[in-house]
Amino acid sequence: MKPYLAAAIQMTSVSDLQNNLLQAEELIDLAVRQGAELVGLPENFPYMGEEKDKLAQAAKIAHESEKFLKTMAQRYQITLLGGGFPIPVDNTGKVYNTALLVDPNGQELSRYQKVHLFDVNVPDGNTYQESSTVMAGDRLPGVYSSPELGNIGISVCYDVRFPELYRHMSGKETDVIFVPAAFTAFTGKDHWQVLLQARAIENTCYVIAPAQTGTHYARRQTHGHAMIIDPWGVILADAGDKPGVAIAEISPSRLEQVRRQMPSLQHRVFG
């Protein structure tokens, strides 16, 4: 593993697939021009609209998203995460919320189907029922091992509230964990940053958290603040509340230092 720059992209995706992919390409270009070699796009990067409309276009969104990720990774010679897009599940009328990691040759490295679905009545009056259109994945996320970029794990949004998922990944010596999200504005203001910091600290790893921000459709608003956090919980970069990019260095020497100073993973008693 070498030192390198990573980027967490922040978008305001809407119900226009091509417009969203164009926005994503512009932000990938911005990240690469600043030297990023590992780039993450947020959950729902290709489409954020009404659930019925998403389902109606799911096959097209899935096809265009996979093609886009592989094309961008090859064109810019980066390792690229598409942080969540719908892939239809045969004979169910539902989709998997799928995150896909692609290498600079356009080859798939890792695929994760979101396990924890956001079925919540938020105190701001909004109700979310992700399970009405999304099929929960049934497999723990894998960890992709790269000689240059380290061991990379993937989670998606609501997963961040379930620490056992990250303990599984830390057991596979994960160095970097992605948490692409479309976190609600109401919960994000209180929970987003502290949850990301907790996952980084307790697992002594970097957390890269691409995010959605702003107003997408109807009353759907997201929190923003795409971040990169180091293994000590220090926020290295924060994209604020507008579309943009958070960029920071992933340092193997920093990982070694924190793990030496705070060897908590070696002190686990249970599990």
List residues with catalytic annotation: 43, 114, 157
What would the two tokens of residue 247 be? 């960029």
User: Which residue do the tokens 């920071």 mark?
Assistant: 248
* DSSP letters spanning 167-196: HHHHTTT-SEEE--B--BHHHHHHHHHHHH
| Element of type H or E holding 208 | strand 206-209
Q: Where are the alpha helices (DSSP H) in 102-212?
A: 163-170, 185-202
Q: Cβ atoms within 10 A of the Cβ of 94, count?
A: 18
| C-alpha pair distances (Å), 266 with each of 1, 36, 51, 270 | 21, 32, 44, 11
* Among 180, 189, 1, residue whose Cα is nearest residue 98: 180
Q: CA 247, CA 239: separation in Å to the nearest integer? A: 9
